[in-house]
Amino acid sequence: MEAVQLMRRFDTKYVLPESWLPDLFETMAPHAHVLEVAGQVECRYDNLYFELPGEQFLQDHLRGKARRMKVRARTYSSNGFTFLEVKERVPGGRTEKHRMACPEGVASSLTERQSQFLSDHLNRAQELEARLNGAFFRTMLVDFDREERVTIDRSLEAGLVGDNMEPLLEGLAVIEIKQPRPDRYTPLQKWLRSLTDRKGAIGRSTRMSKYTMARLDRDPDIAGRAYLATYRRLQDAQTWAEDLQA
């Protein structure tokens, strides 16, 4: 796994009905291994996202800025590890991630050590505020030959800090392909293009992040006109997935 940490990488996202996942696993079986941690192949991830005043991170995403970032704390249920992460998208489409282990956990009020780590990677770190909780269950496939990771996230939940978390994108799984260099001809992408029953956003790459989708869905004060079409396409995809599984 050290060889495929991919702290600098290119990401491509898709959404699929959860009912299509068995076919996805069958397609990838000859090419990839399933990551197992503490005997589990599907693990819960709990995220706490931070924002700057004025919703700068979110607005940068909504406007499609070439350089944008997210700050989050992530806890892995499989081993209890917590990391504080700065994830930055840079011009050219590459993603760079910096993280620090936090055995003490991360709360809305950051410790001095945590604040210093964030100050090393972004300006105005002292102004960060906890804004959103999110959770999902993830299965990870690893293709060591291509140095590629594929993550399959399902049962998404989200809620603004102080509110209860509620389901997000019910019936849909978020698939993300993480690569050291762009490659559109991997087994998974060939399979996606071969699907004859793709509809709308289903099976096609999307720019919408889980964080942005959750903020648009949970916060009525956010005006996301730049993402509105994609947001509606994902809502339509959710309805279609529910129809398929009815």
What is the SS3 assignment for the chain? CHHHCCCEEEEEEEEEEHHHHHHHHHHHCCCCEECCECCECCEEEEEEEEECCCCHHHHHHHCCCCCEEEEEEEEECCCCCEEEEEEEECCCCEEEEEEEECCCCCCCCCCHHHHHHHHCCCCCHHHCEEEEEEEEEEEEEEECCCCEEEEEEEEEEEEECCCCCEECCCCEEEEEEEECCCCCCCHHHHHHHHCCCCCCCECCCECCCHHHHHHHHHCCCCCCHHHHHHHHHHHHHHHHHHHHHC
Distance CA 28, CA 96 (A): 26
Tokens representing 155? 């049962």
Cα separation, 167 vs 193, in Å, equals 28
Q: 140 near 174, Cβ under 8 Å?
A: no
The total domain count for the chain is 1
- The list of the chain residues with pLDDT below 50 reads none
Question: What's residue 238's pLDDT?
Answer: 79
> Comparing C-alpha atoms, which of 93, 70, 15, 62 is closest to residue 229?
62
Here the CATH number for the domain that contains residue 110 is 2.40.320.10
How far is the C-alpha of 169 from the C-alpha of 210, rounded, in Å? Answer: 9
pLDDT at residue 226, rounded to an integer: 55
pLDDT, residue 232, reads: 76
Its domain, for residue 100, covers: 2-245
pTM > 0.85: yes
Question: Which pLDDT score is estimated for 223?
Answer: 61
Task: Give the span between the Cα atoms of 43 and 201, in whole angstroms.
Answer: 26
